[in-house]
Amino acid sequence: MKLATLHQIVLVGLGGFVGSVLRFAVSGFVQRWDPGGSFPIGTLAVNALGCFAIGALAGLAESRQVFGSELRLFLFLGLLGGFTTFSTFGYETHALLRDGDSFKAGLNVVASTALCLVLVWLGHALGRIR
């Protein structure tokens, strides 16, 4: 197994920084739409947007070979890895269950999973259009 070079590590780290800042901004912006703050809509929005983006970029990469290996590291592992928040998704779903709100926890699991899978498919299909 080949070890990552310092250059590759820096690319992923910079992408992760940008993605994390974007996650913070987008999630906070969208979460304001839920005045009661009782449903993690910001996390759902970030996951959905991230899934669409990775699908579209993967479709472009496969159909047109537009990304070199360094840009792929930056975009896919760094930026989108820092942007999507499935660890936060797990924590927030757990918190809903812990607080006795199994309906919202179930809704969060179904909506996040189904919506994000559909958006990966859609993004990938759109990314492959010539």
> Is residue 50 one of the residues assigned to a domain?
yes
Structure tokens at 75: 């975009």
Report the pLDDT value the prediction gives residue 66, as an integer from 0 to 100.
87
Structure tokens at 94: 């757990």
**String of DSSP letters for 68-87:** -HHHHIIIIIIIHHHH--HH
Report the pLDDT value the prediction gives residue 1, as an integer from 0 to 100.
64
Give the range of the structural domain holding residue 17, as residue numbers without chain letter: 6-127
Report the pLDDT value the prediction gives residue 87, as an integer from 0 to 100.
80
Report the pLDDT value the prediction gives residue 4, as an integer from 0 to 100.
87
What is the pTM for the complete model shown? Answer: 0.81
> Is residue 86 one of the residues assigned to a domain?
yes
N-to-C CA span, the chain: 36
> Is residue 54 one of the residues assigned to a domain?
yes
CA pair distance 82, 16, nearest whole angstrom: 4
Strands (E), the chain: none
> Is residue 1 one of the residues assigned to a domain?
no
> Is residue 96 one of the residues assigned to a domain?
yes
Question: What angle in degrees, to the nearest 10, is found between the helix axes of 102-127 and 86-98?
Answer: 160
Number of domains in the chain: 1
Report the pLDDT value the prediction gives residue 85, as an integer from 0 to 100.
78
Report the pLDDT value the prediction gives residue 36, as an integer from 0 to 100.
86
pLDDT-flagged residues of the chain (< 50): none
Report the pLDDT value the prediction gives residue 10, as an integer from 0 to 100.
96
